[in-house]
Amino acid sequence: MKFFLRVKGKKKYALCFLFGLILTLALPPFYIFAALFAFAPFLLLLNSCQSRKQAFATGWWFGFGFFVAGLYWIANALLIDPLKFAWLIPFAVCGLPAILAICLGLVAVLTYMLPRPGWRRIVIFAGFWLLMEIARSYLFTGFPWNLIGYSWDFSDSFIQIASVTGIWGLSFIAVLFGAMPYVFLQPEISRKQRIIFPAIILAIMAAIFIFGMIRLDGAIMWGRKLQVNLIQANIPQTLKWNPAEAKENFMRHLELTSYTDKKLADNLIVWPESAVPFLLQEQPELLRAITDVMPHGAYLATGGIRLEGNQRENSRYWNSFFVIDDEADILGVYDKSHLVPFGEYVPFRKFLPFIEKVAGGMGDFSVGGGPKTINLPDGIKIGPLICYEIIFPHQVVESENRPDIIVNVTNDGWYGFSTGPYQHFETARMRAVEEGIPVIRAANSGISGAIDRYGRVIARLGLNKKGNLQSEIVLPNRGENYTKTTFGRFGAAAIILIVFISGFFAAFIKKS
């Protein structure tokens, strides 16, 4: 342990980077539980800092390793058209992690500035980490990817606490647990602390697990049943936006849709993001082609492009979500509001006129108006989300008109065979638990699936598979209190209160 306290300079920062890399192994799809213990040596390295500048650098290198390993798959999107975008790979693979690592640098500085000994340092560090994750979910449009709480997604029981605290509560306990060996590695920590603190953490974890078991055991699974068919065409991203392949790509979706059981009632068919490569509202023959393969009484939800204005001048484009009935009428439209920077629009475009958006095609997409519920004639309420909009805790449903089901359309073909699609799918599970609303997810290429309101996967179609995935979803009974979770009502309020109480206790209680 003295080694961690003595190591300095480049060796120290290299170790921080290494432990950051190791920490990502706790996340999907690996779930290597012991990787959480990377927090403990990081705190030892933080202890050896002699200034705020050193503390920031220690946290920054730890964060840089964490984000480089967690977000490396972004480079795959730039290799779809390498002649245009390969030069951006160093900026994407290192630039974005470098910016995000600033957050962990600040966490390290704040922890360093409150030099409380023993278990107190762990609690204070966990509290600052948690507040950083909440800030990362909202500031500058937000990017809450790979919150450390997703390391618990391997257990349906353990993640049920997210119905109260959201994903952030799971992050808080993940840091407390991962840093727990710190109390054994510091020689000046008393034997009493080495027994009591781990015992408390393990007791809290046991209580969380028991809460989850009880919640799942009492799961209410009666209500209106909705038959869903999720279309995953598995079109290679190199062909997805090729104009010469547009008709063939559209026909693939029609063919897969034709396999839908025509005898089922209450049927919702879902095509993925941008499944329709044409302007749907201007081509009624496309609508008729779709309805020709749909069962009577069914609805189809699909991603597509929406246009307002003249196609040559003063036009605005949206990455949109359409709901169509079996009479070829468009019943509702939702415009994506959380756009991907440099993917769907270029920030500060007037200063970066030489950069094109990675998605290609027309100009920058316009921003939609935020979460929206589409009300269908038969009373079903759909909450549409496009692509990575599903990753934003407490920002996924219209609060005044909560949906019966969240429908997430996406295209993870950009990221190839990597950890990205697996991480993305797990965020959908967490939103189901947080909001108490089932989620269905249709991906062009990625992972499509049906998830119940408790985050349990009912049906799943794997990465790089093609098919029509059929499942049955039980919708919540609207108006009953149990369908709206504590987190659905209050958002992050519960976990912020817990963190402030814990932090106050750690910072000001009499030393023991």
Do you know the residue count of the chain? 512
CA distance 316 to 134: 32
- Reduced to 3 states (helix: H, G, I; strand: E, B; else coil), residue 97 is helix
Residue 387: active-site member: yes
Select which of 273, 389, 426, 435 is catalytic: 273
Kindly state the helix (H) or strand (E) to which residue 289 belongs, with its residue range.
helix 284-292
Catalytic residue among 16, 49, 103, 387: 387
Give DSSP secondary structure letters for 379-435.
Answer: S-EEEEEEGGGGGSTT-SS-TTS--SEEEEEE-GGGG-SSSHHHHHHHHHHHHHHHH
Q: Does the annotation count 133 as an active-site position? A: no
Which residue out of 12, 240, 336, 381 is catalytically annotated?
336
Per the DSSP assignment, residues forming a β-bridge with 270 are: 230, 301
Q: Of 346, 2, 434, 1, whose CA–CA distance to 185 is shortest? A: 1
Verify whether residue 245 is a known catalytic residue: no
Cβ neighbours, 10 Å, residue 460? 16
Q: Which two tokens stand for residue 94?
A: 């290192």
Q: What sign has the CA pseudo-torsion 473, 479, 481, 487?
A: positive
H/E element, 117: none
C-alpha span between 113 and 381 (Å, rounded): 49
Q: Measured between alpha carbons, how far is 212 from 409 in angstroms, rounded to an integer?
A: 29
> What does the alpha-carbon distance between residue 283 and residue 306 come to, in Å, rounded to a whole number?
12
- Cα–Cα distance for residue pair 221/17, rounded to 1 Å: 46
d(CA 260, CA 228): 9
Question: Residues with catalytic annotation?
Answer: 273, 336, 387
